[in-house]
């Protein structure tokens, strides 16, 4: 019997991005039962995006990729139905998600998925889930929602700068400088807000970047550092925000 391999995204950092903004948004408000089907719907949408984008890149097996994308999308819809039946306002997030995903598709079609604008839109897309989770938990439009979006974006955009500075752009001194300056700004911004203690989750990324940016590192070591960074970011943010 032929073994069927499950199609899942290969970008390990994506799992943190798909879950952490959602968790922080949920906990910044109040966890409710509907968060479970909403997160499952969000997870399946993320899973469906990978084979969909692969179908746009690959010249072979496009039908196979599209079948996986459609299957995940169907599961996402099934999970989303009970949420939308009670919270129809969540539908207004769809245009934002479609717009950001369209930018990703545009870059993929032009084989420029490593472009900084593409990374920005991808992270904004993940942060949107945090906003939805926050509002679903009883949060309202205002300062706290803005902070949920800001801190998630600042942290994960920082991971983009760091990873680029130790891999693809390691020999580019400008990118090393960009990464260091960005992390310094990310540390300072919370100090200028109403939640100055939120600078603490950005101390580790700053130290990590200033120590290792521009230096050759093994992928496993970078992965471990990113896991540590994500864990400390979640814990400190849940305590401080």
Output the pLDDT for position 4.
58
Residue ranges of the chain whose pLDDT lies below 50: 1
CA distance 118 to 124: 10
- 213 with 162: CB under 8 angstroms? yes
Query: Which candidate, 210, 183, 214, places its Cα nearest to that of 199?
Result: 183
Displacement of CA 168 from its chain's centroid (Å):
20
Asked whether 186 and 154 are in contact (CB, 8 A), the reply is yes
- Cβ count within 10 A of residue 153: 18
pTM value surpassing 0.75:
yes
Find tokens 């891999």 and name the residue: 167
- The SS3 assignment for 10 reads coil
Q: What is the C-alpha separation between 136 and 36, in angstroms, rounded?
A: 11
- Answer for the pair 93, 132: CB distance below 8 angstroms, yes or no: yes
Helices (H), 29-115: 35-57, 62-86, 93-109
Q: What pLDDT, on the 0 to 100 scale, is given for residue 86? A: 92
Residues with Cβ within 8 Å of 32's Cβ and at least 6 positions away in sequence, in order, are 136, 137, 138
Distance between CA 91 and CA 217 in Å, rounded?
Answer: 43
Q: What integer pLDDT is reported at residue 108 of this predicted model?
A: 83
Query: Angle CA(127)–CA(165)–CA(192) in degrees, nearest 5?
Result: 50
Integer-rounded Cα radius of gyration of the chain: 18
For residue 150, the model assigns a pLDDT of: 93
Q: How many CB atoms lie within 10 A of CB 233?
A: 25
Let me know: does 103 contact 121? Beta carbons within 8 Å: yes
> Contact at 8 Å (CB) between 147 and 196?
no
pLDDT on residue 128: 94
Q: How far is CA 139 from the centre of its chain?
A: 21
């Amino acid at each position: 019997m032929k073994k069927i391999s499950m199609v899942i995204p290969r970008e390990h950092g994506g799992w943190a991005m798909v879950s952490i903004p959602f968790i922080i948004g949920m906990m910044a408000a109040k966890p409710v039962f509907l968060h479970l089907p909403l997160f499952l719907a969000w997870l399946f949408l993320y899973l469906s995006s990978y084979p969909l984008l692969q179908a746009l890149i690959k010249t072979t097996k496009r039908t196979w990729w599209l079948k996986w994308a459609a299957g995940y999308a169907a599961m996402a819809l099934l999970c989303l139905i009970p949420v939308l039946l009670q919270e129809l306002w969540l539908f207004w997030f769809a245009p934002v998600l479609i717009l950001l995903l369209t930018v990703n598709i545009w870059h993929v079609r032009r084989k420029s998925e490593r472009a900084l604008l593409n990374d920005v839109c991808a992270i904004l897309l993940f942060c949107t889930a945090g906003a939805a989770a926050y509002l679903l938990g009883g949060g309202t439009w205002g300062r706290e929602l803005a902070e949920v979006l800001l801190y998630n974006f600042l942290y994960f955009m920082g991971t983009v700068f760091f990873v680029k500075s130790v891999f693809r752009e390691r020999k580019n001194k400008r990118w090393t400088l960009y990464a260091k300056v960005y992390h310094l700004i990310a540390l300072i911004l919370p100090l200028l807000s109403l939640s100055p203690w939120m600078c603490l989750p950005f101390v580790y990324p700053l130290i990590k970047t200033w120590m290792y940016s521009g230096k050759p590192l093994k992928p496993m070591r970078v992965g471990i550092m990113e896991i540590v960074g994500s864990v400390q970011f979640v814990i400190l943010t849940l305590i401080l925000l």
